[in-house]
């Protein structure tokens, strides 16, 4: 814990919303693509004589993948969660503050200047993933009974269908638009807590299939650009440090990549993720930082040195230089 003026920096764990890539991307247009992520911290203010009040706040931040440029998109929000960056000037994120007078959660979109474009969905929504053509959203929605299920919505907010019955979290749309990967609690033995495992389902709700059958916890899936593999985080328990694994969807085999959390597979075969800094800096002692690595395990690089640990990395997927017809057009959202 480090005191900086009225701020006490703390590392806050958030689960990532990861951005699926467009299919058949031979080139990505940017030689130094950008990443969006969330940092959370506490602001301490006097409440009464001798008493202080701590308020949690979150910032949405954009950085180049080499870490040389950084800018805040949204600052001082009550709660930001799981950004996704499906188009050049569209950054969507789960947000609590500013949606309505009751501060209900929802999915909102910003441009790169920090201007709030619109409220995409309002209500008990905490995670979302855009379809490759930006016409639909796969969303995580909390039910009245407290359970979390997945739904598909149109970009104008109209519901298309319910995807899951039996639970679903953190959906991520595949690059070709044919599948949605997600997490689900699986209760293998009576009397034991459930463990998250990975599943896929088609956008029409058919073809449900379990992908992982580990004895541990499998979370945070992210598609490779060609849609043939997934990178995800695995641990033997929720209290153990996670490792990143790459799953071959056709064969079902998984290999370990490195230590880390919250992976996001992006352009140029780079995988962004968070983990404790290799060499803690004076400004970021003992906090998670953002790293990138190639899928073959080479090229490990630290990107950030934040005073508050970053979470939820999401790659920018530019509109230009795209081979798939689904990505052609302006990608402007309806107001």
Pairing of strands 261-265, 270-276: antiparallel
Q: Give the model's pLDDT for residue 125.
A: 82
Cα distance between residue 303 and residue 63, in whole Å: 8
Radius of gyration of the chain (CA): 19
Q: Give the model's pLDDT for residue 111.
A: 86
| Residue 335 CA, distance from chain mean position | 24
Q: Give the model's pLDDT for residue 240.
A: 67
Q: Give the model's pLDDT for residue 278.
A: 58
Q: What tokens were used for 279?
A: 């060499």
Q: Return the bridge partners of 329, or none.
A: none
In a 3-state reduction of DSSP, which class is residue 268? Answer: helix
Region class of 29: left (phi > 0), else alpha (psi between -120 and 50), else beta: left
Could you state, in chain order, the average pLDDT of each consecutive group of 10 residues for the chain (335 residues)?
30 28 35 85 81 84 90 86 83 69 71 82 83 92 86 88 93 95 85 83 96 92 96 81 92 95 91 80 68 96 88 69 22 27
Contacts of 42 (CB under 8 A, 6+ apart): 7, 8, 9, 10, 54, 55, 56, 57
Question: Model-level pTM?
Answer: 0.79
Q: Give the model's pLDDT for residue 121.
A: 82
State which fold the 2-327 domain adopts.
Answer: Neuraminidase (2.120.10)
Pairing of strands 159-162, 148-154: antiparallel
């Amino acid at each position: 814990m480090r005191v900086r003026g009225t701020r006490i920096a703390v590392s806050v764990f958030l689960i990532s919303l990861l951005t699926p890539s467009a299919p058949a991307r031979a080139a990505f247009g940017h030689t130094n693509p950008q990443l969006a992520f969330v940092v959370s911290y506490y602001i301490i203010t006097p409440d009464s004589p001798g008493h202080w009040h701590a308020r949690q706040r979150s910032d949405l931040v954009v950085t180049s993948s080499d870490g040389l440029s950084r800018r805040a998109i949204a600052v001082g929000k009550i709660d930001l969660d799981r950004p996704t960056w499906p188009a050049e000037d569209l950054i969507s994120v789960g947000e609590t503050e500013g949606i309505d007078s009751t501060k209900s959660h929802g999915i909102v979109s910003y441009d790169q200047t920090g201007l709030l474009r619109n409220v995409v969905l309002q209500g008990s929504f905490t995670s979302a993933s855009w379809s490759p053509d930006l016409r639909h959203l796969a969303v995580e929605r909390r039910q009245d009974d407290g359970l979390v299920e997945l739904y598909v919505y149109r970009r104008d907010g109209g519901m298309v269908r319910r995807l899951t019955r039996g639970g679903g979290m953190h959906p991520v749309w595949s690059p070709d638009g044919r599948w949605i990967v997600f997490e689900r609690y699986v209760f293998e033995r009576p009397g034991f807590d459930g463990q998250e495992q990975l599943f896929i389902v088609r956008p029409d709700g058919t073809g449900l299939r379990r992908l992982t059958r580990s004895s541990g916890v499998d979370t945070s899936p992210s598609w490779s650009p060609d849609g043939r593999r997934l990178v995800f985080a695995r641990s033997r328990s929720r209290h153990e440090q996670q490792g990143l694994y790459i799953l071959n969807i056709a064969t079902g085999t998984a290999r370990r990549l490195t230590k880390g959390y919250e992976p996001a597979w992006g352009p140029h075969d780079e995988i962004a993720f968070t983990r404790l800094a290799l060499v803690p800096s004076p400004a970021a002692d003992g906090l998670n930082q953002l790293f990138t690595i190639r899928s073959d395990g080479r090229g490990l690089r630290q990107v950030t040195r934040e005073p508050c640990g970053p979470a939820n990395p999401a790659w920018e997927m530019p509109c230009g230089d795209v081979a798939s017809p689904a990505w052609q057009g302006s990608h402007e959202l309806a107001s």
